[in-house]
A and B are shown apart, each in its own frame.
Chain A
C-alpha cells in the first residue's frame, strides 16, 4: 500500500526524533508498555478475588487484640497486623476486592448512562442538548462533591451507597466527553452521508457514532477507573465509605495515620497498592490511547 508523501511527512514514526536504528525495538517496547501494567492489574485482581478462595488467609476482621501491631514479615502475617489485630495482608486482598468492584461499577454506570446522555445531547442538539448540558453543568459546578458526601453520609456507609455517590462524578464527566466527541463527529462528512441516505437517528447513533466514540470513551474510562478508586479511598478515609471493620484501602490508610510515626508501614502498604493499581490503570489507558490514536 503506497503511503502518499504528504502523509509520510507527519506520521507518528517520522515525528520521533530517535535515529532509525532504534526502530526495531520500538514495537517490542510498545507491547511491554501495554502488557506489563495490564498483566499486573489482572494478577492483582485475580489475587484479590481468588486467593482467599483457594488458599486460606486469616480473616480480615475480628482479629484478636493480642495480635495487634505486629510488624511486616512476622510469622503468619506477611504484612503484619493492624492496631486492632487484623491481618494486613488479607485486608489488602479484601480491600482490593472493594476497590475493583466499586471502580468497575461506577465506571460502567458512568459509561452507560453518561455515555448515552452525552451522545444524545451531542447528536440531537437543540432542546435535548440544552437541558442535558445545563444539568451536567450544574452537577459539575460543585454539588457533585456535596452530593456525594451527602449521599454517603445520609444513606450510611456501605459499598452500594459509595457506588451511587461516586456515580455523581462519573456520569457528568463521561457525559461531557461523549458529548464533545459526538459533536466533533457530527461535522464529519460521513455523518452527513448517513443522514442523507435516510438512516434513522438511533441507528446512526449505534452504527456510526458509537464505534467512533468508543475509543475515546474507553481510554477515558480507564483513567476514570483510577480516579474512582482514589475517590472511594477518600470516602473511606473520611469514614463515609466502606464502614469499619470491613477492609478498604482508604480506611486502612486513615487507621494507619494514627500510628504514622511508630509504624509507617500501616500507611505505606495500602498506599503502595493504591498507587500501583492507579498507575497501572493510567499506563494501560495511555498505551491504548497510543494504539488507537485517540487524542
Chain B
C-alpha cells in the first residue's frame, strides 16, 4: 500500500444553532490513496458533504472543526483561509451539485475557467484563455472556442457540469471531490458525466471522491465505499465486498430500498422507517438504533465502535447482519 494522499483522522465538525451544538461530523477517519476512487454514501444529514468541505476549508466561519486532515503530509485543519487558498484548486478541487447555481450567471464561461487557472499559475490572460479552451476539450465539450464566449444560461445542464469539471481540473489537482455531482442531472447525462470523470481520473492520475446518496452509483464506479450515518462512518469496505457481504443493517436497508427489476410487480418498496436523527441531540447508543430492525438493548445503551472486523472491511455494529446481497 502506497502512502495515502489524504489522511483524515477523527474529524469533527460542530455548528452552533439557536444555542445548541449540532454535531454534523462526529469523529470520521479514512484514507484516500492516489488514483483511488472512494465513494462516500449517506442520506441527507449524514455529514458526507460537511466533512469534505471541512477538508477544503469551505465551511462558514461559525463552524468548529477539530481533528486532522493531512494532505500529502500537510495538515489542512487549522490553516488560515490564506494558507488554505494555496491548496484549494491546486491540490484538492471540488465539483458541486447544482451547476446552474454554481456558475456566475453574468460572467462568460471562458473567463470563469481562466480565473481558475490564474488563481494558482502566473500566466497571461491569453495563455489562460488557451488553457481554458484546452480544458474544455479535455472534458469532451463540443466547439470549445465558441463555448468560451458563451454564458452559463446558454448551456444545458450536462454541459454546465462539464464546465465545472473543467474549472476543477484547471490546476491539475491530485484529488477531485465530486459532491453529488450528478444528482441534478438526468440519468443519461449522469452516466456520461460519470464516465467522463473516470476517464479523466485515469488520464490525469487523480484520486476521486464520489459523494452521493446513490448506492448504485457507488457500486458501479467506486473502488472503496464508505457509508455514513449521523455524522459517523458506519461501514467501510471495497465496493465488491460491501455489496456482496454487507454487514451493517443500515447499509443493507439502503440496498434493499433500491428498486429492482426482479422484484414482483406492485410489491411494496422496502423503506427505512423513522426519520434522520437530530444532530444536536444524538441518542446515547448507536445512532441508527431507533430505526433498526435488529436493534437490541446493548445497541441502545452503548455506541458500537468502528472496527476492522474482517480484513479491509470495517463496520460499527453490535449485531451485524450476514448479508449476502447480490447487486
In the complex, the answer to whether B19 meets A8 with C-beta atoms within 8 Å is no
Within 54-88 of A, Cβ neighbours of B (below 8 Å) are at none
Other-chain residue from A3, A13, A14, A20 in contact with B279 (beta carbon distance below 8 A): A3
Chain A neighbourhood of B15, CB < 8 A: 8, 13-14
Q: Is B49 an interface position by the 8 A CB rule?
A: yes
Within 35-60 of B, Cβ neighbours of A (below 8 Å) are at 44-45, 47, 49-50, 53, 59-60
Chain A neighbourhood of B45, CB < 8 A: 2-5
Per-residue CB contact flags for chain B residues 279-297 toward chain A (1 = under 8 Å, else 0) read: 1100000000000000000
In the complex, the answer to whether A13 meets B16 with C-beta atoms within 8 Å is yes
Closest approach, in angstroms, between the C-beta of B24 and any C-beta of chain A?
6
Closest approach, in angstroms, between the C-beta of B248 and any C-beta of chain A?
20
Known contacts A6-B44, A13-B16; A20 and B50 CB within 8 A of each other: no
Per-residue CB contact flags for chain B residues 185-211 toward chain A (1 = under 8 Å, else 0) read: 000000000000000000000000000
Q: How far is the CA of A249 from the CA of B255 in the complex (A)?
A: 75
Closest approach, in angstroms, between the C-beta of B289 and any C-beta of chain A?
16
Chain B neighbourhood of A146, CB < 8 A: none
Q: Is B144 an interface position by the 8 A CB rule?
A: no
In the complex, the answer to whether B17 meets A8 with C-beta atoms within 8 Å is yes
Chain A neighbourhood of B278, CB < 8 A: 1-2
Other-chain residue from A9, A18, A20 in contact with B59 (beta carbon distance below 8 A): A9
Other-chain residue from B47, B60, B64, B275 in contact with A2 (beta carbon distance below 8 A): B275
Who on chain A is nearest to B53 by CB? A9
Q: How far is the CA of A14 from the CA of B61 in the complex (A)?
A: 7
Q: Is B276 an interface position by the 8 A CB rule?
A: yes
Who on chain B is nearest to A1 by CB? B278
Chain A neighbourhood of B276, CB < 8 A: 2, 4
Q: How far is the CA of A18 from the CA of B62 in the complex (A)?
A: 7
Quick one: which of A8, A17, A23 has the most chain B CB within 10 A?
Answer: A8
Who on chain A is nearest to B277 by CB? A2
Chain B neighbourhood of A27, CB < 8 A: 19
Q: How far is the CA of A16 from the CA of B45 in the complex (A)?
A: 21
Q: How far is the CA of A13 from the CA of B47 in the complex (A)?
A: 19
In the complex, the answer to whether A20 meets B64 with C-beta atoms within 8 Å is yes
Q: How far is the CA of A17 from the CA of B60 in the complex (A)?
A: 8
In the complex, the answer to whether B49 meets A20 with C-beta atoms within 8 Å is no
Q: How far is the CA of A10 from the CA of B277 in the complex (A)?
A: 20
Known contacts A1-B278, A8-B15, A8-B24; A15 and B44 CB within 8 A of each other: no
Closest approach, in angstroms, between the C-beta of B181 and any C-beta of chain A?
15
Closest approach, in angstroms, between the C-beta of B290 and any C-beta of chain A?
12
Chain A neighbourhood of B253, CB < 8 A: none
Other-chain residue from B18, B50, B62, B64 in contact with A16 (beta carbon distance below 8 A): B62
In the complex, the answer to whether B60 meets A9 with C-beta atoms within 8 Å is yes
Q: Is B63 an interface position by the 8 A CB rule?
A: yes
Known contacts A13-B17, A14-B17, A23-B16; A5 and B50 CB within 8 A of each other: yes
In the complex, the answer to whether B17 meets A11 with C-beta atoms within 8 Å is yes
Q: Is B138 an interface position by the 8 A CB rule?
A: no
Q: Is A24 an interface position by the 8 A CB rule?
A: yes
In the complex, the answer to whether B63 meets A14 with C-beta atoms within 8 Å is yes
Q: How far is the CA of A2 from the CA of B19 in the complex (A)?
A: 15
In the complex, the answer to whether B18 meets A2 with C-beta atoms within 8 Å is no
In the complex, the answer to whether B49 meets A14 with C-beta atoms within 8 Å is no
Who on chain A is nearest to B279 by CB? A2
Per-residue CB contact flags for chain B residues 115-126 toward chain A (1 = under 8 Å, else 0) read: 000000000000
In the complex, the answer to whether A14 meets B60 with C-beta atoms within 8 Å is yes
Closest approach, in angstroms, between the C-beta of B232 and any C-beta of chain A?
14
Q: Is B141 an interface position by the 8 A CB rule?
A: no
Residues of A within 8 A of B (CB): 1-6, 8-11, 13-18, 20, 23-24, 27
Sample of 18 further A-B pairs with CB below 8 A, known A2-B276, A5-B50, A14-B15: A1-B278, A2-B275, A3-B279, A4-B45, A5-B45, A5-B49, A6-B44, A8-B17, A9-B53, A10-B60, A13-B15, A15-B60, A15-B62, A16-B62, A17-B61, A20-B16, A23-B16, A23-B19
> A-B pairs with the 7 shortest C-beta distances?
A14-B60, A14-B62, A20-B16, A17-B61, A2-B278, A4-B44, A2-B276
Q: 24 interchain pairs (CB within 8 A)? A: A2-B45, A2-B277, A3-B17, A3-B22, A5-B45, A5-B47, A5-B50, A6-B49, A8-B17, A8-B24, A9-B49, A9-B59, A13-B16, A13-B62, A14-B15, A14-B16, A14-B17, A14-B63, A16-B61, A16-B62, A17-B61, A17-B62, A18-B62, A20-B62
